[in-house]
Amino acid sequence: MKTTVIVTTYNRPDALASVVQGFFLQKDLDFDLVIADDGSDRHTRDVISQLKLDAPFEISHVWHEDLGFRAAAIRNKAIRASRGEYLIFTDGDCIPRTSFVSNHKKLAEHGYFLAGNRVLLSRTLTQKILTHDVGIGQWHSWTILKYYFVRDINRLMPLISSTWLTPFRKSSPSRWEGVKTCNFSAWRSDLFKVNGFEEQYEGWGLEDSDLVVRLLKNGVKHKNARQATPTLHLWHTENDRGSLERNQERLRAIMSSDRIKANIGLEQIGL
């Protein structure tokens, strides 16, 4: 199964480097990686150029002008640039565990998208990771416990691999709440059928929920990837919520309609 990983970033080259290096350590390296850059400056471009030299897989970089938070639009460009039949999405501040790609692939199933979760790291631990390279993606259980007990990690459960969840992974096929594209995967063909992300979402919030609602309306179901594909989310200041109310209105409108396609999405790129 040809697979592409899509990593979204904006002006955080140190975090992006840690995330991409986490993909260097994957047990399964049979994928290519597209960096979806929401308008970063040349420092990010320089870091990507260096990462390409060391990468055990192909790295592509798609960029657009910085006109504010436009994650939906840059993800669509990355989807267009992808070559995999299966696409795994994450963010440039979410470091993968070494089984992240392999477990997304193992759980992939036609007719479903996958939704995983994340663990939040403290500001102190984030700084340590970015300045000293503590090998976060390869932590052993005792290291995880140590950081949890000093509250540098907000929860343990997502990091504990568990086979007991297997019979329940399809227990909420219509669930859209809580699905985030920092840990999400879907078939490329399913994304094209709904015209990808809705680019009318500008400013932080809910463009991922809109996509998931439209996938569900088109018959693609939710499959739970929790405790199989956790990511370690580096601390950052809270994003500006100024656009949230407008985006909530957009989401309510799509939920009350029968529309499955984005008004502005994959089909409109380049027009």
Instruction: Kindly report the pTM of this predicted structure.
Output: 0.94
| Residue 41 pLDDT greater than 90, yes or no | yes
pLDDT of residue 269: 82
Mean pLDDT score, 69-80: 96
**Per-residue pLDDT tens over the stretch 216-252:** 999 999 999 998 999 999 998 877 666 788 889 999 9
| Residue 103 pLDDT greater than 90, yes or no | yes
pLDDT band of 270, cuts 50, 70, 90: low
pLDDT of residue 164: 62
Q: Give the range of the structural domain holding residue 185, as residue numbers without chain letter.
A: 3-268
User: How many structural domains is the chain composed of?
Assistant: 1
Identify the CATH number of the domain in which residue 192 sits: 3.90.550.10
Strands (E), the chain: 3-9, 32-37, 59-63, 86-91, 94-96, 112-115, 118-120, 183-187, 221-224, 231-233
